[in-house]
């Protein structure tokens, strides 16, 4: 193991260690008490973000359940470097929010429309006025529904009802919210912050609830979380010919590691073929990944790995040569029927075992454990044709309306993005096996794993 590999492994193990996290939490709680603050959750609302619309609907429930202050801030969209394919993100967010809302019993129009810029400006003014009058919770859900339904008349009526906002109040609120978000160390809307830790929207609210409960702030201790994590049920499949599943992933994506063993398990449960679609990491495709984003993803992945019972933390970043070499070997492993095993072991090596895929010792060891001979690995590394496969996968991902990984779909159907969307994929599998009459999909087949 090279010195660089040893340093990377040691640094990331420390960064993601439960001990460091406990110390950070305790330090943030102590600092707040010394400042004379009550336990305070800070929520950052982005008016044109569908996930913020869902998160805002949880605020009254959180206030009722937990004895903590909730401080709301308006926030602008993230910079381009943190949202590298903004148009695809906007389009995907609409259809994703529809199903996420149903699964959590929240409101989102079944046929949402991307809001016009003037509608977003109107909503920002309404929300800034509501914040100023201390009635954000009551206003945000109704005004957000009007925005995502494209109902400008309703927005105008709400503006009249809330009174004419002070000129420039929305700009002032957005600037103040952005300054606070930057000071605390984040970049997205729909985020909750509590004593040094960040939680994204409804999807990570279960973790926030656990933090609040651990601080003795839960008024209903032991009761079911308001927003538990969603996972596949793996129930007995309906009769029928299983559809093919496709999964896009990158050897540099920690969320790809979290999804790979689980999507393989899901495919086996339904007897479904699993087609691997590897792609290059984002930074190797010309898409920026800011350091603050990389740090948040690492810490969030550690929490999620603990929930899922997967190892995580001894990381050796495979960007560059490591990713390319792994892709070359995978290209040869797939036709040998060893692709899934190599993909899972390669991801585990990079994010849990502290193994450098850029070094011969690490890569050959992973390949052997996947069933490849050294001669096969050597031949793979001398073959550059993997680039054609990877480029085709990248183009297919863009055609599917997505840009990042992990992503997956029932072949030809709508694609989903994120390790926390496998429950949607399971619904699609079951729908393909047992087609229902035309109509909106429900979340009835979803299990709710504890978000702790």
Predicted local distance difference test score (pLDDT) of residue 377: 98
Confidence (pTM): 0.92
pLDDT at residue 438 in the model: 53
Q: Work out the number of other CB atoms within 10 angstroms of the CB of residue 213.
A: 19
Of 304, 396, 411, which Cα lies nearest the Cα of 351? Answer: 304
First to last CA, the chain: 35
Length of the chain, please? Answer: 452
- Mapping DSSP to helix (H, G, I), strand (E, B) and coil, where does residue 145 land? helix
pLDDT at 386: 98
The reported pLDDT for the residue numbered 451 is 37
Residue 452 has what pLDDT?
32
pLDDT at 436: 61
CA 74 to chain centre: 21
pLDDT at position 100 is: 97
Chunked into runs of 10 residues, the chain (452 residues) has average pLDDT values of 84 92 91 91 97 98 98 94 86 96 96 93 94 93 95 89 72 96 95 97 98 96 96 90 97 98 97 97 78 92 98 95 98 98 98 97 98 98 97 97 96 95 97 71 43 34
| Six token digits for residue 357 | 């895929």
What was the pLDDT predicted at 214?
A: 94
What pLDDT does 164 receive?
54
């Amino acid at each position: 193991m090279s010195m660089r590999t040893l340093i990377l492994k040691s640094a990331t193990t420390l960064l993601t260690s439960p001990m460091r996290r406990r110390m950070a939490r305790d330090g943030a709680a102590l600092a707040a008490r010394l400042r004379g603050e009550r336990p305070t959750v800070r929520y950052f609302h982005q008016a044109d973000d569908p996930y913020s619309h869902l998160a805002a609907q949880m605020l009254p429930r959180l206030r009722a359940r937990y004895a903590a202050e909730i401080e709301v801030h308006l926030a602008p969209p993230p910079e381009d470097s943190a949202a590298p394919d903004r148009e695809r993100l906007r389009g995907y967010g609409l259809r994703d929010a529809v199903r996420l809302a149903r699964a959590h019993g929240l409101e989102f129009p079944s046929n949402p429309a991307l809001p016009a810029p003037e509608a977003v400006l109107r909503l920002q003014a309404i929300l800034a006025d509501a914040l100023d009058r201390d009635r954000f919770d009551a206003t945000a859900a109704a005004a957000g529904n009007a925005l995502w339904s494209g109902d400008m008349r309703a927005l105008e009526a709400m503006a009249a009802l809330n009174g004419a906002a002070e000129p420039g109040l929305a700009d002032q609120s957005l600037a103040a919210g952005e300054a606070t978000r930057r000071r605390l160390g984040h970049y997205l809307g729909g985020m909750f912050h509590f004593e040094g830790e960040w939680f994204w929207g409804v999807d990570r609210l279960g973790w926030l609830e656990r933090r609040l409960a651990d601080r003795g702030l839960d008024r209903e201790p032991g009761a079911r979380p308001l927003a538990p994590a969603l996972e596949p049920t793996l129930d007995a499949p309906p009769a029928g010919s299983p559809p093919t599943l496709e999964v896009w992933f990158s050897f540099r994506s920690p969320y790809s590691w979290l999804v790979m063993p689980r999507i393989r398990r899901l495919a086996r449960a339904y007897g479904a073929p699993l087609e691997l679609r590897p792609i290059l990491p984002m930074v190797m495709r010309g898409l920026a990944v800011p350091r603050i984003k990389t740090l948040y993803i690492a810490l969030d992945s550690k929490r999620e790995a603990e929930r899922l019972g997967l190892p995580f933390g001894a990381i050796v970043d495979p960007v560059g040569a490591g990713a390319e070499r792994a892709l070359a070997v995978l290209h040869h492993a797939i036709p040998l029927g060893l692709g899934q095993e190599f993909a899972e072991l390669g991801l585990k090596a990079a994010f849990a075992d502290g193994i450098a895929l850029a070094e011969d010792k690490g890569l050959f060891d992973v390949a052997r454990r996947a069933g490849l001979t050294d001669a096969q690995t050597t031949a793979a590394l001398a073959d550059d044709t993997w680039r054609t496969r990877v480029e085709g996968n990248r183009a297919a991902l863009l055609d599917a309306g997505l840009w990042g990984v992990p992503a997956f779909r029932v072949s030809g159907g709508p694609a989903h993005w994120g390790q926390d969307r496998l429950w949607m994929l399971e619904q699609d599998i079951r729908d393909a096996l047992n087609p229902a009459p035309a109509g909106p999909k429900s979340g009835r087949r979803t299990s709710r794993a504890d978000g702790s």
